[in-house]
Amino acid sequence: AQTVTQSQPEMSVQEAETVTLSCTYDTSESDYYLFWYKQPPSRQMILVIRQEAYKQQNATENRFSVNFQKAAKSFSLKISDSQLGDAAMYFCVTQGGSEKLVFGKGTKLTVNP
Amino acid sequence: DTGVSQDPRHKITKRGQNVTFRCDPISEHNRLYWYRQTLGQGPEFLTYFQNEAQLEKSRLLSDRFSAERPKGSFSTLEIQRTEQGDSAMYLCASSLEGGQPQHFGDGTRLSIL
């Protein structure tokens, strides 16, 4: 079974600052994917970034980057130059051995102007 | 790319009634997934289809739940004899193939009176 733990129920950041959201996971699969999805209030779930576990290089997408530590089973998300539109619930997600996604409980990010 | 479409957006019904939700995936996607999200939690996997074949079902999908994808295009999720605990957001997602990112719809919010 796969599990995902997000230990920060809520985080806040000042506009233009940098914030890091933490995630640890557990899986017995040797081949798996990791994702961060965001869910703005009353809006649809959107993919932020994707990491293939066999790739050592950390994924980046514009202002979003991850720190993937495979041995530690850690997958944190860094948001640089935070914008008001980044305010959302962020979910750390794993997929492996099956096509189902396994979600953490989420971290609510508030961006202060 | 018109995105994943779900109908209705909201459904209010009395306990014991049957409800049916519809999901139209992105047109070229052959994978279709259903998830359930309760308040303050991450989505939980219910079931998925590859074309018209239902390949995996969660134990969360009790006998009262049934999902179909008759022609490998749209899908329906039916809940019979609804209970209070069925109140949740039901999310549909689709992907081009296994291992590719899943794209989510806006969800159907079910409220049981």
Question: Is residue A56 pLDDT above 90, yes or no?
Answer: no
Rounded mean pLDDT of A8-12? Answer: 97
Compute the nearest-CA separation of B59 from chain A (Å).
13
Neighboring chain A residues of B33 at a CB cutoff of 8 Å:
99-101
pLDDT at A1: 82
pLDDT at A75: 97
- Residue B105 is nearest to which of A44, A47, A91, comparing CB atoms? A44
More confident position, B92 or A55: B92
Neighboring chain B residues of A34 at a CB cutoff of 8 Å:
none
Rounded mean pLDDT of A65-87? Answer: 97
Among chain A residues, CA nearest to B105: A44
Place A30 in a pLDDT band, splitting at 50, 70 and 90. Answer: confident
pLDDT at B11: 97
Q: Is A55 on the interface with B (CB under 8 A)?
A: no
pLDDT per position as a tens digit, B10-63:
999 999 999 999 999 999 899 999 999 999 899 999 999 999 999 999 988 889
pLDDT at B103: 96
Q: 3-class secondary structure for chain A? A: CCEEECCCCEEEEECCCCEEECCEEECCCCCCEEEEEEECCCCCCEEEEEEECCCCCCCEECCEEEEEECCCCEEEEEECCCCHHHCEEEEEEEECCCCCCEECCCEEEEEEC
Question: Is residue A97 pLDDT above 90, yes or no?
Answer: no
CA-nearest of B82, B86, B89 to B105 is: B89
pLDDT at B1: 57
Neighboring chain B residues of A103 at a CB cutoff of 8 Å:
42-44
pLDDT per position as a tens digit, B54-112:
999 998 888 999 999 998 899 999 999 999 999 999 999 999 987 789 999 999 999 99
Among chain B residues, CA nearest to A10: B40
**Selected residue of B26, B45, B94, B109 to mutate for chain A interface (largest A Cβ count, 10 A):** B45
Question: Is residue A104 pLDDT above 60, yes or no?
Answer: yes
